[in-house]
Amino acid sequence: MSDKAVNRDEMDTRERLLMAGMEIFAERGFADASIRQICARATANPAAVNYHFGDKERFYAEVLATVHLRAWKKRPIPRLAEFPTPDDALRAWVRWFLEILTVDGAGPLGRLMAREMADPSSALDELIHRSMAPMMLTLHEIITALLPDAEQETRNLCQQSVVGQCLFYRHAQPAFDAIDRLRDQGLMPTDTPALLSRVDLEQLADHIASFSLAGLRHVAPAPGGSR
């Protein structure tokens, strides 16, 4: 089960290593993932990583780049101009970000970004530059369209509020699981008012978008109330 191999016949060793690395680095992190384990899943020799990538660190950097590429190819980032209103754009962006963070094999890009945040490696700067900056700039365009007259700092705070709400559902995943476990053990009564609760992604995107739009308009109300 956990040691299933990456299909040996359709890819060359380099590709198989990248796929196996994606999976195992996301599962266990840079330090805990062992080259031997990755090579086993890729049905390759332990020396293969060093031959194809030089060392573990450069290999990891390649894996991050690959994960980014695959995610963005599969789910292109939504741009402000594609939507009739900034409200629609915000909702689409939230939906897109939640998908990047959580779907497709539990979102390897999201998991790896979360790991880099908890435990930054030398690859973090590149990851931010390549993956995170474009996400944030796109959101910033949308926020600016929604709050054209707000101060820069207000926009930043709002942007961060939106991102924070989305990220929660990536970071809190293990907490959801732990709470299920505690309930099963009877350590936490099932009728306890919910600590946390999972919901459908559509519904979640709707909630975050409308919660945030209300928040946005409150902290930077339309100028004057004129018109």
Q: Which parts of this chain interact with DNA (CB under 7 A)?
A: 12-14, 33-37, 43-52, 55-57
Looking at the Cβ atoms of 45 and 160, the one nearer to DNA is 45
**How many CA atoms within 13 Å lie on the side-chain side of 67?**
31
Residue 106 touches its own copies, criterion: CB under 8 A: no
Q: Which does 178 bind (CB under 5 to 8 A by kind): DNA, its own copies, none?
A: its own copies
* Radius of gyration for the alpha carbons in the chain, expressed in angstroms and rounded: 21
Distance (Å, whole) CA 161 – CA 174? 22
Q: Which does 56 bind (CB under 5 to 8 A by kind): DNA, its own copies, none?
A: DNA
**Which one among 11, 61, 65, 117 touches its own copies, defined by CB under 8 A?**
117
CA distances in angstroms from 142 to 78, 85, 159, listed in the order given: 10, 10, 9
**Per the structure block, which two tokens stand in for 52?**
């194809």
Q: Which does 35 bind (CB under 5 to 8 A by kind): its own copies, DNA, none?
A: DNA
Looking at the Cβ atoms of 103 and 175, the one nearer to its own copies is 175
Q: How far is the CB of 155 from its own copies (least distance, A)?
A: 8
Q: How far is the CB of 12 from DNA (least distance, A)?
A: 6
**How many CA atoms within 13 Å lie on the side-chain side of 19?**
17
Q: Which does 190 bind (CB under 5 to 8 A by kind): DNA, its own copies, none?
A: none
Distance (Å, whole) CA 144 – CA 73? 26
Q: Using an 8 Å Cβ cutoff, are 2 and 23 in contact? A: no
**Which one among 15, 66, 70, 211 touches its own copies, defined by CB under 8 A?**
211
Distance (Å, whole) CA 158 – CA 154? 6
Distance (Å, whole) CA 113 – CA 45? 28
**Which one among 152, 186, 190, 224 touches its own copies, defined by CB under 8 A?**
152
Q: How far is the CB of 154 from DNA (least distance, A)?
A: 45
**Per the structure block, which two tokens stand in for 162?**
């939106």
Distance (Å, whole) CA 169 – CA 155? 23
Q: How far is the CB of 133 from its own copies (least distance, A)?
A: 6
Distance (Å, whole) CA 60 – CA 21? 8
The binding site for its own copies (CB under 8 A) comprises 28-29, 31-32, 114-120, 124-125, 128-129, 132-133, 136-137, 140, 144, 152-153, 155-161, 163-169, 171-175, 177-179, 181-182, 187-188, 192-197, 199, 204, 207-208, 210-219
